[in-house]
Amino acid sequence: MAEVLADVARLVDAGWRFVICHGGGPQATALGQALGLEVAKVAGQRVTDAATLEVVSQAIAGQASTTVVAAALEAGVRAVGVSAGVVQATRRRPVEVEGRTVDYGFVGDITAIDTELLRGLWALGRTPVVNPVAVWRGEATGPARGRLNVNGDTVAAAIAVELGVDHLFAMTAVGGVLRDRHDPSTRIAVLDEPNAREAIAAGVIAGGMIPKVEEALVALSRGVGAVHILGAKAGLLLAEAELPGRVGTALRAE
């Protein structure tokens, strides 16, 4: 994490503005298991009952968020953590997934992003750090009804769209979209929409990479300039920002 944040610091110094969105799924799972809770995920999203919501809030809005902010400050980024109020969501109704009805519990679908606050922090020279525990409102302007758990990649994409950013960088352990998912040397540098859809249909893009690429295509169709899927090692963000596709996979609008 420190290495990526050092790259962010360099880019902010060069005039880029960032919103850092983080997850913390593995930490929430570890805390839940330590407390004896069962972990259930369907299609990559956590089924979140009341006890799990407490765990997710503690692990992600509490521990992960403050850890990221502290590490960012240490790396020279003038970071500030913003919590639930910036991401608003409504509770997901039971949905059909993989042939059965799934009630995700306290999982939210985003209804609004407080872009005014994010832009205000940029104007103050700060870098917002956003965690994916959202505030629950029936309507964007209605009274708050609690918290909801949202996937971190989804929050990042929604913020990118609402801010109309030039670049969305999605960090992943695999380092990009690969032609052969077991061979890192087969990274696809640039992917357009038809090729991406073809790769999904052909099974070249599978598993956890499908929602990432589909999310990227939605972001592009809604005005984000480019989406980069890349690894989280030192220098990769800098290299990819300088030349899309140099070290990751760059998806661009037509």
Ligand X SMILES: Nc1ncnc2c1ncn2[C@@H]1O[C@H](COP(=O)(O)OP(=O)(O)O)[C@@H](O)[C@H]1O
Residues of this chain that bind ligand X (CB under 6 A): 172-174, 177-178, 181, 204-209
**Which of positions 123-142 make contact with ligand X2W (CB under 6 A)?**
132
Instruction: Please report which helix (H) or strand (E) contains residue 43, including its range.
Output: none
Q: Which residue is nearest to ligand X2W (CB)?
A: 23
Q: Of ligand X2W, ligand X, none, which one sits near residue 222, judging by CB under 5 to 8 A according to partner kind?
A: none
Query: Minimum CB separation from ligand X for residue 235, in Å?
Result: 18
Binding mask 146-175 for ligand X2W (x = CB under 6 A): ---xxxx-----------------------
| CB nearer to ligand X: pick between 174 and 239 | 174
Residue 40 is encoded by which pair of tokens?
Answer: 């259930």
Q: For the beta carbon of residue 230, count every other beta carbon within 10 angstroms.
A: 26
Q: Among 60, 48, 42, which residue's Cα sits nearest to residue 211?
A: 42
Decide the pairing of beta strands 249-252 and 226-230.
antiparallel
Query: 97 is written with which tokens?
Result: 């997934």
For residue 125, give the DSSP letter: T
Binding mask 32-51 for ligand X2W (x = CB under 6 A): -------------xx-----
**Smallest separation (angstroms) from ligand X to the CB of 198:** 12
Cβ nearer to ligand X, comparing 93 with 182: 182
Q: Minimal distance in Å, beta carbon 252 to ligand X2W? A: 24
Strands 226-230 and 167-171: parallel
How many other CB atoms are found less than 10 A from the CB of residue 1? 13
Choose the one of ligand X2W, ligand X, none that binds residue 207, judging by a C-beta under 5 to 8 angstroms depending on kind. Answer: ligand X
Residue 89 burial class via C-beta count within 10 angstroms: exposed 0-12, middle 13-18, buried 19 and up: buried
- Report the C-alpha gap between 214 and 237 in whole angstroms: 21
CA distances from 107 to 93, 98, 99, 152 (A): 9, 18, 19, 12
Bridging pattern class, strands 133-137 and 167-171:
unpaired
For ligand X, which is the closer residue by CB, 158 or 177?
177
Stretch that binds ligand X2W, among 22-30, 158-166, 171-179, 185-193 (CB under 6 A): 22-30
Total interface residues for ligand X2W by CB under 6 A: 15
Q: Quote the CA–CA distance of 14 and 89 in Å, as a whole number.
A: 34
Least distance to ligand X, CB of residue 137, Å: 28
Site string (206-225) toward ligand X2W, x via CB under 6 A: --------------------
Where along the sequence are the contacts to ligand X2W (CB under 6 A)?
23-26, 28, 45-46, 56, 60, 107, 132, 149-152
